[in-house]
Amino acid sequence: MDAGSMSRGRLVAMGMVCLVSALAVGSGEAAEVLSNPGFEAGVLAPWTTDGNWAIETNNCHSGSYCASNDGNNSIKQTFPGIPTSSITGITFWMRQPNASISAFRLGYSDGSSYEDIVSPSSSWSQFDITSHLDSGKSLTSLTIWGYQAGGGGPFVTVLDDVSIQTNLQPTEAIPLLGWRGVLALALALGVAGAILIRRRLA
């Protein structure tokens, strides 16, 4: 094999490696925005709470831990703004032994928010609140409340597997170039590699 054919072979190989690497970065599954979304850290952090929210280990939806509270208290997580156009789903699992009511709030970077209620049952139910997102905004927080009804308590709310799914990847700079950009970048890297090999062989 002469130097020229070796370089061509390496050019093709390097181009393919670059292309596959670039595509691999962009083909990941939906990313979870929340940290400790199912409370499996065994602590509430980085969720912030008021009232008596605490880690629960009895009858969780999944894993070993969930979060519970008695009363109309909030549990909230904030995060860097996510364009609502990139959010593919917002869901949470909840149960209330007395099957009452719960509220949630979607908070945006412009200071606005949307608040609504859901009606949990005594067994685990999943609530999908994705349709309540405001288009053209940037979501920065999710807050969920328990409840306090008239009469004697306890007013228990148990929460697990909260999820905000986005199609943005943490390292998605390359796919933002689009297909042509990825191809051009891969070929450019391959050509640059081939030039280096040629210089070494020269």
Where on the chain is the footprint of Ca ion (CB under 5 A)? 38-39, 60, 62-63, 65-66, 160
Closest approach of Ca ion to the CB of residue 93, in Å: 9
Closest approach of Ca ion to the CB of residue 123, in Å: 16
Closest approach of Ca ion to the CB of residue 62, in Å: 5
Closest approach of Ca ion to the CB of residue 150, in Å: 31
Half-sphere exposure of 165 (CA within 13 A, CB side): 12
User: Which lies closer to Ca ion via its Cβ, residue 64 or residue 112?
Assistant: 64
Closest approach of Ca ion to the CB of residue 58, in Å: 12
Q: 202 to each of 2, 3, 4, 7, 192, how far by Cα in Å?
A: 12, 8, 10, 11, 15
Contact by Cβ (8 Å): 40, 69: no
Alpha-carbon distance 34 to 23, whole Å? Answer: 25
User: Which lies closer to Ca ion via its Cβ, residue 73 or residue 160?
Assistant: 160
User: Which lies closer to Ca ion via its Cβ, residue 33 or residue 66?
Assistant: 66
User: Which lies closer to Ca ion via its Cβ, residue 41 or residue 177?
Assistant: 41
Give me the helices (H) in the chain, please: 3-26, 178-201
* Strand residue runs (E) in 15-122: 31-32, 48-49, 54-56, 66-70, 74-83, 87-95, 102-108, 113-118
Half-sphere exposure of 156 (CA within 13 A, CB side): 16
Q: 17 to each of 21, 30, 101, 128, 189, how far by Cα in Å?
A: 6, 24, 54, 40, 10
User: Which lies closer to Ca ion via its Cβ, residue 75 or residue 186?
Assistant: 75
User: Which lies closer to Ca ion via its Cβ, residue 156 or residue 185?
Assistant: 156
